[in-house]
Amino acid sequence: MGNVVTNVQEIIASNKEPPTPELKQLTERQIEIIKNTWAVPYSKPLDSGEIILYTYLERFPMNQQKFAAFRNTPIIMLKGTPGFRSHAHKIMKNFATAIDALGTENGLQVILGVVTEIGKYHRRRE
Ligand code: HEM
């Protein structure tokens, strides 16, 4: 995960167009593994989301500056606040929607919709 994030950061820093990843067909077994694994953190979505977001910003502190609502607050003070937890929960819900859709009839369309929306939230801002 850390490597993926670092690579993305490098692509953004070098201003190169990020490559579009190839869409791969998952087997039923792979889908089952993903769903069972995801069920663990998603059993407590707010707590897990907060830990993931907190750890991410702790490891990549420059990204905290991108969040208008969080940039002027020391990260330790964000822990447990409704705004921070609510943002983390939104991230978790996006993953949940995509993972729930795996293996369903129009799952690919749902996942593409989620990814497209996430892309819009994260477009380069002037
Ligand atoms: C797959 C992983 C991610 C998901 C699912 C996700 C999801 C979201 C969602 C749903 C929003 C909109 C929140 C709202 O409506 O208030 C958002 C906003 C945002 N995300 Fe992400 N995000 C992800 C990764 C990241 C990463 C790695 C960064 C690193 C900088 C980031 C930075 C931001 C920023 C700066 C905003 C705007 C917050 C604001 O309005 O102040 N996101 N994200």
**Ranges of each domain in the chain:** 28-121
Q: Does position 35 have pLDDT exceeding 50, yes or no?
A: yes
Cα 23 to ligand 1 centre (Å):
23
Distance separating alpha carbons of residues 100 and 104, to the nearest angstrom: 8
CATH code for 28-121? Answer: 1.10.490.10
Measured between alpha carbons, how far is residue 111 from residues 10, 25, 103, 114 in Å? 26, 13, 11, 5
Ligand 1, atom 21, lies closest to the CA of 122
Ligand 1 atom nearest the C-alpha of 95 is 5
Cβ of 18 below 6 Å from ligand 1: no
pTM: 0.83
Predicted confidence band of residue 60 (pLDDT cuts 50, 70, 90): very high
